[in-house]
A and B are shown apart, each in its own frame.
Chain A
Amino acid sequence: GQQLNQSPQSMFIQEGEDVSMNCTSSSIFNTWLWYKQEPGEGPVLLIALYKAGELTSNGRLTAQFGITRKDSFLNISASIPSDVGIYFCAGQLPNNNDMRFGAGTRLTVKP
């Protein structure tokens, strides 16, 4: 199956620092998505990317869809304590109904 490799597994950063995480795949995806999940809740969509090379921002979050369509990164600028959570990348195949998820990046922000 199409596996997504997400890194790093976890990050411990100081409030105010920038964060970068990425996902790679051996397969091509039509859509890349980034979700955040907090304890006891379902994943919440942060950013959706639909075109190769696309760079999209949502407040302090910026994500890019790699040119090869096999990778994506998510950057968070000036982190704050409420950024704590697990961030998942997900890829969706063309005309396919399931999404493949990475294993997640656990972010801890120290005040």
Chain B
Amino acid sequence: DAGVTQSPTHLIKTRGQQVTLRCSPKSGHDTVSWYQQALGQGPQFIFQYYEEEERQRGNFPDRFSGHQFPNYSSELNVNALLLGDSALYLCASSTDLGETQYFGPGTRLLVL
């Protein structure tokens, strides 16, 4: 039973560029959440996707957008990258509202 997978594992971009991160949920899960984890801090909620729609959003600017596909996989897009966007981006999947979330290994993004 495959767990949550994310790609790529590492990414280096320059300021102003755009980036797309990908996530495949755990088998049987239909809900995907994205988190940003800065160095030395706990994860912070970006948004959650369910039935191909953004269901809830944390305190992140519109530069952060996402998408969920019919197979429940998801993408996180970040436009106009800033140095402060450097972080570990985590994807978590679950079965439904309020259910326990399981995390992928993350994508480490470095913005230079």
Contacts and interface: CB of A to CB of B under 8 A. Distances in A.
Answer whether A and B are interacting partners: yes
Interface of A: 1, 4, 6, 30-31, 33, 35, 40-45, 48, 88, 90, 92, 94-104
Contacts of A103: 40-42
Contacts of B106: 41-42
A103 B59 CA distance: 17
A33 B103 CA distance: 13
B4 A97 contact: no
Contacts of A33: 100
Contacts of B50: 97
A98 B33 CA distance: 8
Contact of B55 (A97, A101, A104): A97
A104 B42 CA distance: 6
A1 B59 contact: yes
Q: Give the interface size bracket for B toward A.
A: 20 to 34
Contact of A43 (B40, B41, B56, B103): B103
B49 to A, nearest CB: 10
Contact of A92 (B58, B90, B98): B98
Contacts of A98: 33, 45, 48, 56, 58
A101 B98 contact: no
A30 B45 contact: no
Nearest to A48: B100
Contacts of B25: none
Q: Nearest 9 CB-CB pairs, A to B?
A: A101-B42, A98-B45, A42-B103, A97-B56, A97-B48, A43-B103, A42-B106, A42-B105, A48-B100
Contacts of A88: 42-43
A99 B104 contact: no
A97 to B, nearest CB: 4
A102 to B, nearest CB: 6
